[in-house]
Amino acid sequence: MYNRAILIGRLVADPELRQTPGGVAVCTFRIAVDRAYSPKDGDRQADFIDVVAWRERAEFVTRYFNKGKLILVEGAIQTRNYVDKNEQKRTAVEVVADNLRFVGSKSESGGTNSRHAPDDSDAPAAHGGANAPAPAYSSGSVESFAEIEDDGDLPF
């Protein structure tokens, strides 16, 4: 079995940080993820996905992200059943995040907030392993590429 979700979207509202009775940090937030298909009238549609982050990841999201900021969420889809205040049975579907990252440049990510680090590029990514920085790639030139002849035959 395999349960993995990778989403890129914008926060619909500021994340909410709470503590469990045992003192564990938990953060809930919702992201809007654009659908790949757009109808003929041109209005893009989005899905609104609930996300839960625990411990260090919860504190990371609360510190560096706010409404409108672009975020990459990686985790597992989880469902839970509960009874609401009207005694109705409900099911919640959410992504339990185990990896959270900045996406795009600072300006593409939706502005600044006083809760953010002075430069988001210095902020770590929140994930289960060591906080390794993203690899740096040097930009090449067109001259470094060689043209391949196309004889119409597939190489595999």
Indicate the SS3 state at residue 63: helix
Q: What per-residue confidence (pLDDT) applies to 140?
A: 54
pLDDT category, 113, cuts 50, 70, 90?
very low
As given in the structure block, the two tokens for residue 123 are 């902020």
Does the pLDDT value for residue 111 go beyond 50?
A: no
Question: Across all residues in the chain, what is the average pLDDT?
Answer: 79
Higher pLDDT, 148 or 81: 81
SS (H, E, C) 68-131: CCEEEEEEEEEEEEEECCCCCEEEEEEEEEEEEEECCCCCCCCCCCCCCCCCHHHCCCEECCCC
User: What domains are there in the chain, each with its CATH number?
Assistant: 5-37+44-128 (2.40.50.140)
- pLDDT tens for 116-151 read 443 444 455 555 544 444 444 455 555 555 666 666
